[in-house]
Structure formats: C-alpha cells, structure tokens
Structure 1
C-alpha cells in the first residue's frame, strides 16, 4: 500500500474543499471497498479525507419520502422500522448484500460508489481500461462468466456490484450531492454510467462532489416486493444476477404498477422500464411474468463464458415476480 496523508474534517465544506483542491485525494467512510483496492495497488490516493465526523447519518421521514444520510450504515438502514415499513424492497436488497460484518461498516454513500469486482480490474498485472485507460480489456477474451450482457462496450464489460443500488434505481430514488459548485440532485438512474469510451469514470459525479443523502419517494410498493439474488454460495458472494421486483396489485390481483431492475448484468444498475410497462393492467400470473421477462431480455448479448445469464435472467425475473406477487 502506498503512503498517504490522512485528514478528518468536521465540516462538510472543508471535506469537499480538501478533495476538490487535490486531484490525488479521495473521500473515505467505511472503507470496505477502498481499503481493499489500496492494498492491491488498484487505487493509490495520496490523501484520504475521512468524512465520518460529518452529520450525515440520519434517516428522516420527510413528506412523501425517506431521506437517508450518506453515512448511514447499511445494517442500520436495513433494520430501520421506517425503511422496513415504507421501503421494504430496499431493506431486502441491503440484507442480501455482503456479510453482516461488512454491512455493519459499509455506508449508503459508499455502497453506491463501490468499484466493480471484475478480476481483471483487481489484478494489476492484467490489462484493464477501467484501471489504466488504453491498456485494453482482459475480460473480453478472458474468463468473463461474471460479466455484462447489457450496455457494455469494447472498452469494458464489467458489472456494478451493489445490491442496494438495484433497489434504489427501481424505486426512483434521487441522490443529493454537494460540491464546489453547490448542491444538486441526481436521479438515481443517472448516477452511474455505462462504460462507453471512458470506463474509468463510473459515475456522473464531478470532482470534489460528495454524496450527502439519498431520497426514496413513497409509493404503493410496501407489500408485494422481493429481491432475488443468484450467487455461487449462500454466504457472502456477489450476484451472478439479481432482480428487484415490486408490484402494486388491485383486489382482483391485477397489476396497477410495477418496478423491475437487474443487477450483475451491466456497468450500472439496469432498470427494466419496458417490462414494467408491459405488466401494467395484466393479471399477476406466471404467463404475464414470462412475457415481461422476454421483453426485459431484449438486446442482451453474452460472451464466451456468461451465456448462462441469457437463461438465468428471465428465469430470475419470473421467480422474483412470482414471489413478490405472493407476499402480503
């Protein structure tokens, strides 16, 4: 691990200034991802700006939404009574992520910003455009069984690893950001980027911008929700593929509204809006779910080792929707 300077400001603006004025600086909170990357030499910041003293841990029930501070711990959010009652899909996704020990350290803001778990990104002896632009993508012709089937480019086929983010994109969350130019709001669907020609840039955040909170709007999705995560082992493991599903059903079991998103399939959490629209007005039956799953998978393309996702994807969508429909 490289040597670095460590500062721990108590004021938000001081933290922002410390990163905005130093291109070698980065924020650190729980450190559950960043420290690993530093140990491996994947990231080598010269200054760490510890933001844990900032007052960003609250979970507030504002009119029409929950506002969750960026420094709220994943375990705290998942267990919060307001979250479980008003946004149960988010609680399910958080509890599916990582291990209990990591959830006790990881923060909401850090969870959004974690880097890909692509083995070529983590191995500094291998080519990786995300880690070192212009060197190539080792996964393209390498072992790519964990990799993207949507939204990839010839520069990068890595996937975003966050479970929480899959639920947040499905729930139309909004990220609150503060930076050198002031405050702004970013729709969650616009926070993360597809790789394009700049896979090294994961998000639309500007230099020095700090995530301060995420707003999750109230909605009808408080009963019929499910987070389906497929992984290689039941204990701590990243998703081969996951699905966040939420349904609003009428008294005749017809679908009034739906929310669907996938994880483990793209460089960003992958919202399935066309499949959502196809479900509206349909009965909550396996046939309806099968039709929606087929729509959701349009445009998917596999590589040598991840063709299984083309079958796993629709099957997981169907199962997630069936489970969500049966929950009351």
Structure 2
C-alpha cells in the first residue's frame, strides 16, 4: 500500500507518497481499500501541528474516506467483506488502505457513488449538527453563512434551505457569489479582503440591508478573523452565532455585544459531539441520507485529484480557491 505521509510539521509541500506495509485488522477492526477521500480544512492544520489532534509521525492526513472492506476482524458482525463503507478516520485517509474500528464505519447507500460518499459526512454532518442541534434553526428565520462557497458552507446553504430558512451567503468573490446563488442562496454578499474598520462597517451594513432592521437570526461562521465582529453586530435580538471554524484567524470579540444583543455565541465542535453522543449522530446521518435520496442535498465537487497529488489539493484548499469539495481518488487499491 501507499500513503501520503507527513514526516515533519509543515505545509502541503512536505508530504511524501511512500510505500507502507498493509495493516492487518484486530478483532474489532476492518481494513478498507480506499476508493476516495475528502480534503477538509483540518487536513491543512493537522500537518502543521495546529489542530486539536496531533498524531505521532509519520502519519497521513485525511479524516474522511469511502471504500470497500477487504478484511475484517473475527469479532466483527455488522459488516462483511465487499461492503462499501464511509468513515471518519481523523487521519490516515490519504492512502490506498486503512485499518479502522468497525464501529466507525457506515454503510454507503446504494444510490450514492464513492465520490459523493467520500465528501458527505464531514461537511453535512457538521452543518446539520450546527443548524439543527446547536442553532435550532426555524423555517421563518434568516441565516448568514460566512465562507459560504466552501465545503461546510455549501452544505449549510442546502441544509438551511431544506429547513425552510432564508440564506444570505457571504463570500470573497463574484464567482463564489454566483456559485452560491446556483445552489440556493437567497442573497449574497462579497466582502472585502481587508481587515480595516471601513471594510468591517461596510460588511455590517450590507448584512443589515439584506436582513432588515431586525438583523439575521443565525450566523454560521467558518471563517472568523475580521469578519466575525461585523457579523455579530448585525445579529438579531436573541440570535445565535455559530462558531464553526477560523479559516481567516481566531477573532477577538467585544463581550458587550452578546449582552446588548441578548444573543448566544455557540461553539460547534462536531467531532466531539459524534464521540459523546453517537446515537444522536447516527440519527442525524439517517436524516441526511433521506435528504440525499430525495435530491435535496448533493456534495458539490469542485475537482478530483489522484491521491498522490494530495499536496496540490491541500494547497488549493488552503488558498481558498475551492467551490465546494475536493476529492482524492485511487483508481485501484
């Protein structure tokens, strides 16, 4: 087997496509031949030692895979060799094979191809947990999505629309705005790339002009940085501000704003929620599969790369040049 290994902290250029011994499953494990793996923002952080999880080196990044079971442990009863499965792996997914706990695998629906399966759970799971469990988004509410053209952002647009909400998509270019409109956003804002006060005020005023005097009910923020404070200033009374990620850096929020707005700043740590409430996670996954089968959500695949070109894919994601998802593929494993 081969894996894209991180041998020292650094950027995508430090990864090395290296031969490895194929793992053998323990009693409760399975070996999966990876057909496709999703590229997600945490993959850019974990190789720099900037993520919550710090695996011992050498390791391969890649926290989300789809593939076929080729070996199972003698205590595994819920899966069989030949089953198609998707899984959240944390790391290790940028490879041709991986050994995972059988309990972490979810059978792929028959109507879902490998490319969609590889890019499904992380983004839709995160956004469904955020909007449903953390924000309790209602059909008569308005949600502002920051970083709306990325993986979790596009999922948030689709899922908010599926809940009957109105969506304002905030993005960094006209191309991204057009993309978000095509997938269902009701309105778009192109924010400036500067962090100066005038740009922040202009961004806040654009949000208010689109949301009305009351402001937005929910802010879905996977960006952070200089965009956080003006978004919070445009939130409605008793709104919910979802902290999803920090692609533009960790913001400093004046804490008088939540008091004046009567609003909540709500953390969205989906990975921890999956571990702490696995039954609720599986219930959410079942809901997402139903939405997929009904054609109401679809992973928006920006590009596919061969697995050995994972470094190029990570660079594109890091530079925020992606509309939707990037998927890595293994033609044969």
TM-score by length of 2: 0.25
**In proportion to residue count, which structure has more strand?**
2
**In proportion to residue count, which structure has more helix?**
2
